Amino acid sequence: MSLNNLIDSLATNGWYVWDDFVTPEQRQAIKDCIPDIALKDARIGNKASLQGNKTIRGDQTVWLEPEMGVPITQYMDKMDTIREELNRQCYMGLRDFETHFCRYPNGAFYKKHIDNFQGQGIRKVTTVIYLNEEWQSGDGGELVVYDLQDQELFRLEPLAGRMIVFMSENFPHEVLPTQKKRESIAGWFLTEKIL
């Protein structure tokens, strides 16, 4: 079962790739819940330091909420099942989940970063689900994952339905420039409740 594989791989490698995590129908239903008008240029930083900086990241995002539709609720319920299992088997103390839809227009990228705000460590586990239909080699937008010594570990193609899960603080990563529109859902299991 893939959930057990995820637990085993996170414990040994710190990351796991789960192909076909969402079906084509689920991908389309989620995308149908995202109004284009809701997408905003992504920013970097946190709270008072939030700023737009297209030299670092060029995607557009919208935070996902259950009120956006049943497909979003079903996705969040599925992620909550994973959270509960990580707590049960790995004693991670995960208390919440935050998630947003990301769209990278042609040419956009996200430079190397770690998924925790400076001075905070509440993001414990990162998830990214790819929604790109018919991605092909040469389309760009691969995820490049590094270790803490800045050595490249692997490049992941953003294939539709694929999810990568990794320990947020252990793996700097970047999104290479896209050659066509790239869509995904990024999420984080948190050690504190979102207020």
Which pLDDT score, from 0 to 100, does residue 52 have? 53
144 part of a folded domain: yes
β-sheet bridge partners, residue 99 = 187
56 part of a folded domain: no
Rounded Cα–Cα distance for residues 112 and 145 (Å) = 9
Which pLDDT score, from 0 to 100, does residue 47 have? 53
How large a percentage of the chain has pLDDT more than 70?
91
Burial zone of 148 (CB within 10 Å; 0-12 exposed, 13-18 middle, 19+ buried): exposed
Q: Write the CATH number for 154.
A: 2.60.120.620
46 part of a folded domain: no
41 part of a folded domain: no
45 part of a folded domain: no
3-state secondary structure of 65: coil
pTM of the model: 0.92
Which pLDDT score, from 0 to 100, does residue 37 have? 86
Average confidence (pLDDT) per 10 residues, the chain, 195 residues: 90 96 96 90 58 73 96 97 96 95 94 79 94 92 96 97 96 96 96 84
Number of independent structural domains in the chain = 1
Rounded Cα–Cα distance for residues 120 and 107 (Å) = 31
Q: Could you tell me if 188 and 127 are in contact, meaning their C-beta atoms sit under 8 angstroms apart?
A: yes
Which pLDDT score, from 0 to 100, does residue 76 have? 97
Domain assignment of residue 137, given as a range: 3-35+64-190
Which pLDDT score, from 0 to 100, does residue 182 have? 95
Q: Could you tell me if 118 and 153 are in contact, meaning their C-beta atoms sit under 8 angstroms apart?
A: no
Among 188, 189, 184, which Cα is nearest to 102's? 184
Tell me how far apart the terminal alpha carbons of the chain are, to the nearest angstrom: 34
Burial zone of 155 (CB within 10 Å; 0-12 exposed, 13-18 middle, 19+ buried): exposed
Which pLDDT score, from 0 to 100, does residue 140 have? 96
Tokens describing residue 105: 């227009």
Which pLDDT score, from 0 to 100, does residue 139 have? 96
Q: Could you tell me if 167 and 114 are in contact, meaning their C-beta atoms sit under 8 angstroms apart?
A: no
